[in-house]
């Protein structure tokens, strides 16, 4: 695995980092707007930081179809909140989930450390913003899909080949624009431009992404591929998410975007100890 840097924050090669999700949306698929208002959103950040999250991922637009959210509204939802989180938790890395370069610039001015480009470079200026502000960027595979659209009869001759081709091209382009190489992450984009079988396959084949040398981020939390695999609604997908988290960590992923920070942290700690990169928190058994 690979050490990396997001803005002012560094992460070790053996570190498995929790990226806690805090949605500033009234219509998110799982929490249904639970953190749309400032007070519950700040409380969610506090819980996540206390649970061991090193990155907070703030999003102002629901990933799926829904009401139109223009640039001005996205800015209103995220910029003041980034400012508040930066002031209260200087030790945490702040990520903003956006595909818009204008939003990216504004949140970097407010203190963001990484731009989470979940729609695969649809705004080519976003990487230039990351370079300008010396922050990280997540290069995600979305199969060429437009933002906020669902896949329809999508097919790939080889889904991982497409993931590698697109994410590596985005990563190298970001570096060519001036983003520090150690500040670029790649994401296979579970559910984005994919059906459930595609998402399961890219999970099994994560070592191919890890072998490229770029740090790998996975966004698995309560997603449809988990729901369809187990035939469960979002509220009941935690166990499936955590199973996929453990396997993804074992296969070399390093950053885990999650709704359930405490449970994810425990799974990653246990996986790290099994891998031999983290000692047990206590070791008394058989020593007395």
Q: Which residue numbers are catalytic?
A: 223, 257
- Please name which of 125, 223, 134 lies closest in space to residue 181, comparing C-alpha atoms: 134
C-beta atoms surrounding 235 within 10 Å: 9
Cα four-point dihedral sign 27, 32, 35, 36: positive
Return d(Cα 279, Cα 179) in angstroms, integer: 34
C-beta atoms surrounding 211 within 10 Å: 11
SS3 (DSSP) at 8 = coil
- Please name which of 217, 18, 183 lies closest in space to residue 114, comparing C-alpha atoms: 183
- Phi, psi (rounded to 5 degrees) for 95: -110, 145
Return d(Cα 17, Cα 263) in angstroms, integer: 13
C-beta atoms surrounding 208 within 10 Å: 17
C-alpha dist (Å) from residue 41 to 22, 72, 259: 7, 20, 12
Cα four-point dihedral sign 129, 141, 79, 113: negative
Both tokens assigned to 178: 């001036």
SS3 (DSSP) at 288 = coil
Cα four-point dihedral sign 240, 246, 250, 255: positive
């Amino acid at each position: 695995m690979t050490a990396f840097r997001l803005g002012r924050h560094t992460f070790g090669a053996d570190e498995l980092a929790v990226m806690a999700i805090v949605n500033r949306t009234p219509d998110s698929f799982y929490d249904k707007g639970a953190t749309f208002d400032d007070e519950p959103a700040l409380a969610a950040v506090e819980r996540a930081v206390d649970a061991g999250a090193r990155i907070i991922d703030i999003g102002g637009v629901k990933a799926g179809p829904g009401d139109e959210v223009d640039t001005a509204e996205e800015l209103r939802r995220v910029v003041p909140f980034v400012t508040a989180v930066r002031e209260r938790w200087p030790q945490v890395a702040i990520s903003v989930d956006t595909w818009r370069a204008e939003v990216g610039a504004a949140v970097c001015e407010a203190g963001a450390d990484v731009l989470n480009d979940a729609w695969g470079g649809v705004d080519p200026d976003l990487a230039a913003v990351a370079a300008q502000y010396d922050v990280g960027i997540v290069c995600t595979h979305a199969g060429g899909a437009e933002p906020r659209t669902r896949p329809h009869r999508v097919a790939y001759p080889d889904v991982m080949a497409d993931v590698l081709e697109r994410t590596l091209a985005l990563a190298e382009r970001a570096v060519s624009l001036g983003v520090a190489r150690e500040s670029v992450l790649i994401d296979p984009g579970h559910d984005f431009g994919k059906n459930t079988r595609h998402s399961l396959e890219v999970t099994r084949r994560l070592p191919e992404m890890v072998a490229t040398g770029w740090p790998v981020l996975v966004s698995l939390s309560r997603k449809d591929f988990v729901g369809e695999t187990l035939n469960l609604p979002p509220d009941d997908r935690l166990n499936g998410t955590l199973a996929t988290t453990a396997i993804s960590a074992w296969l070399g992923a390093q950053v885990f975007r999650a709704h359930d920070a405490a449970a994810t942290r425990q799974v990653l700690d246990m996986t790290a100890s099994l891998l031999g990169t983290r000692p047990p928190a206590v070791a008394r058994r058989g020593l007395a």
